[in-house]
Amino acid sequence: MSLSPINDANENLLGAVRHDWTRDEILKLFNMPFMDLLFEAQVIHRTHFDPNKVQLSQLCSIKTGGCAEDCKYCPQSARYDTGLKASKMMEVDRVVELAKHAKEAGATRYCMGAAWRDLKDRDVDQICAMIEGVKDLGMESCVTLGMLTSDQIGRFKQSGLDYYNHNVDTSEEYYKEIITTRSYQDRLDTIQNVRDAGINVCSGGIIGMGEKETDRAGMLETLANMPAHPDSVPINKLVQVKGTPLYDDSIDEISDFDFIRTIAVARIMMPKAYVRLSAGRESMDKKMQAYCFMAGANSMFYGEKLLTTPNPVKNNDMALLAELGMSPEGHTMSHEDAATEAKLTDAIVPLKAGGTREFDPSIAYNSRAADNVTQ
């Protein structure tokens, strides 16, 4: 028996890499019974990833504030009085030093962000040096710098850039309510130009900005129907910052369950992408984050700050992973835990096919795996 309301006609529909999702199909996923949705997402997640590993990225604001854009959620816009002072771009040596500390703390990817609408050619050499410095540490490099020219993209490719982040933010329909200084098509064009250069794409959005469920579906529709799915999909929960237009009591905070549903639907629609817990994680308790991992999230920003908004401290993150029997990607799983994982996978596949199986206590997770996590 199929669990999914869109899966009756084709048993292989869920879990397939598709680029032809319709809004109605996506909304049906959002409206599945919560536990059924999480089960589907977890089965698909296990098909492509180790469910007990989480990729850790750290984000550094290499140039803060003074941005000409009018993104209503962003404290870095020069249009809003948020108390944030604009700064010059950081020196290369300082960025590389911070990246080294991030690697020592467990991060495998270092992301560098600058607050501007588009990159000026005069800054390209300095950013290339940052990328090369991060790569020399053996880390993956990522930058988010607004719109780029083809020549700038080519320079970054030559420097070894692994990922470029450029979010779509929300649905195309709701986008004009959030930003007017850059079109939705501008964002899509930048993403395509980056992909054409052979650089991995990181693209997601923000939820909780007053949008409707159909807008969350529309955001995921845009991402999943690209010629290739983004390699990383950050899902941000709005952090209301005083002074920005979205610091507004009339905007209802998105419920925990609606956020988790968005994670699960993203996992189902983009089965091979890393789905990242990004901004807003500081407000999530341990149980909510555990549900997000169950729903298919397998990456998170790590460190005390995301550009200008708070993030859980590192020790709390490691303690949470240890408590869940999870560990950062790149850490080795013991033979005993690998055997347990194989048993769990073997048990869950017949259930997905509609079979039945009595619970076997031998497949229960061994909590001693937590000892493998480096504090």
Catalytic sites, residue numbers? 67, 71, 74, 111, 142, 202, 276
Distance (Å, whole) CA 58 – CA 109: 6
Distance (Å, whole) CA 246 – CA 231: 29
Candidates 155, 246, 140, 259; CA nearest to 202 is 140
- Spell out the residues 6+ positions from residue 148 whose beta carbon is closer than 8 angstroms to its own: 118, 119, 156, 164, 190, 193, 194
Distance (Å, whole) CA 270 – CA 274: 9
For residues 37 and 75, the answer to whether their CB atoms sit within 8 Å is no
With the C-alpha atoms ordered 111, 115, 117, 121, is the resulting torsion angle positive or negative?
A: negative
CA atoms within 13 A on the CB side of 374: 11
Residue 137: CB atoms within 10 Å: 14
Distance (Å, whole) CA 108 – CA 150: 27
| 263-285 CB burial, b ≥16 within 10 A, e <16 | bbbbbbbbbebbbbbbbbbbebe
Q: What is the DSSP letter of 362?
A: G
